[in-house]
Amino acid sequence: MFLDELSPVWRELSQQPIAFLGGFVSGLLRLNLSEDPVRSWLDQQSGATSYTSTAGSNNGNSSGPKSISID
């Protein structure tokens, strides 16, 4: 019943309690993992970049924004 649906949650909580609770708290606080304070802390902890930057990509378009006219 209801306990069967919660068994994956309890299994994850028992296997990795600190990671589970960290994710749970960040979800409650609605922290964005790509914003600077959290991103820099995650980079220090993992030693690698844990996000993808889209600032330099232009999806194959070499020119800037296009203007359109609507009749």
Residue 32 pLDDT: 79
Position 27, amino acid: G
Residue 1 pLDDT: 63
* pLDDT tens, residue by residue, 32-68: 777 777 778 777 777 755 455 555 555 555 567 888 8
Does the pLDDT at position 10 exceed 60? yes
Residue 49 pLDDT: 54
Residue 26 pLDDT: 84
- Eight-state DSSP code of residue 55: S
Higher-scoring residue by pLDDT: 15, 36: 15
